[in-house]
């Protein structure tokens, strides 16, 4: 290895050893595909810069042109073309393509939180964009209550039972009474963690599923730096 190449390699290695806890997200929608990339860096100052945002566009284009199998190539592109110039450790975090009938996304103004939602073909794109925004704010765990496993439900019941036993107003009640009370709480728990059952953040008087009406959501994913 030439001395100049060795120096560059050493500089890159030093940067790679530093923590990269800031960064930004970029989502490009084309047809029925969402191209999602996020790159972490060391400082919020760099993450908010125009050169960082332009770099995100380059990485998103690389994903679009080369597919998800090209992540290592994209990382090499970061290190050779941007890391030394920007003076920080840059690491690709998310690098994926989401495909479906109708795809929509929302990226928060700080580019650190985003979401992609997928519906059946012919879905209302404007409604889906608003639901994607809801996902970034409400952070649901499941699409619908039907997806919640029995293990998760039983674990939540155990947590609620332990809380009640430590409550001075409830501790002396028998377990069978407490369990009946907990059963009544499970509906609320399911609605809080299930996207379709959550109160819509833009209009809490309706659930997300009511806002979507005939647009049938099939999946979602939330991203965060």
Per residue in 146-180, pLDDT (tens digit) is 999 999 998 988 888 888 888 887 777 887 888 88
> d(Cα 156, Cα 124) in Å, to the nearest integer?
35
Global pTM reads 0.83
At the topology level, CATH places domain 1-99 in Tetrahydropterin Synthase; Chain A (3.30.479)
Query: Rounded to the nearest 10 degrees, how much is the dihedral formed by the CA atoms of 133, 67, 84, 44?
Result: 10
Q: What's residue 177's pLDDT?
A: 82
Contact 170, 182 (CB under 8 A): no
Q: What's residue 19's pLDDT?
A: 64
Give per-residue pLDDT as tens, 94-105. Answer: 999 999 999 999
Q: What's residue 12's pLDDT?
A: 44
Q: What's residue 7's pLDDT?
A: 46
Tokens 């042109």, located at residue:
65
Q: What mean pLDDT do residues 54-65 have?
A: 97
Q: Is the pLDDT of residue 2 over 60?
A: no
> d(Cα 61, Cα 28) in Å, to the nearest integer?
9
Q: What's residue 110's pLDDT?
A: 93
Q: How many CA atoms does the CB half-sphere of 190 hold within 13 Å?
A: 16
Q: What's residue 14's pLDDT?
A: 53
> d(Cα 179, Cα 177) in Å, to the nearest integer?
5
Q: How many CA atoms does the CB half-sphere of 12 hold within 13 Å?
A: 17
Q: Is the pLDDT of residue 6 over 80?
A: no
> Domain ranges in the chain?
1-99, 149-192
Percent of residues, the chain, with pLDDT higher than 70: 91
Q: What's residue 15's pLDDT?
A: 46
198: CB partners within 8 A, 6+ apart: 134, 138, 140, 191, 192, 207, 208
- Give the range among 41-45, 145-149, 157-161, 193-197 with minimum mean pLDDT: 157-161
């Amino acid at each position: 290895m030439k001395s100049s190449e060795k120096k560059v390699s050493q500089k890159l290695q030093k940067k790679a050893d530093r923590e990269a806890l800031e960064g930004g997200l970029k989502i490009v929608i084309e047809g029925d595909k969402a191209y999602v990339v996020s790159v972490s860096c060391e400082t919020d100052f760099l993450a908010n810069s125009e050169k960082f945002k332009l770099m995100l566009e380059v990485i998103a284009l690389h994903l679009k042109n080369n597919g998800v199998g090209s992540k290592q190539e994209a990382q090499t592109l970061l290190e050779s073309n941007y890391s030394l110039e920007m003076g920080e450790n840059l690491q690709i975090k998310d690098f994926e393509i989401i495909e479906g009938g109708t795809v929509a996304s929302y990226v928060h103004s700080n580019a650190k939180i985003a979401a992609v939602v997928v519906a059946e073909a012919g879905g209302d794109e404007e409604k889906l964009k608003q639901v994607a925004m809801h996902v970034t704010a409400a952070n649901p765990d499941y699409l619908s209550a039907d997806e919640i496993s029995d293990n998760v439900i039983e674990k939540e019941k155990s947590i609620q039972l332990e809380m009640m036993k430590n409550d001075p107003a409830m501790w002396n009640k028998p377990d069978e009474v407490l369990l009946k009370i907990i059963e009544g709480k499970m509906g609320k728990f399911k609605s809080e963690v299930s996207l379709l059952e959550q109160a819509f953040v833009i209009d809490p008087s309706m659930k997300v599923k009511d806002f979507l009406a005939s647009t049938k959501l099939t999946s979602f994913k939330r991203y965060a730096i």
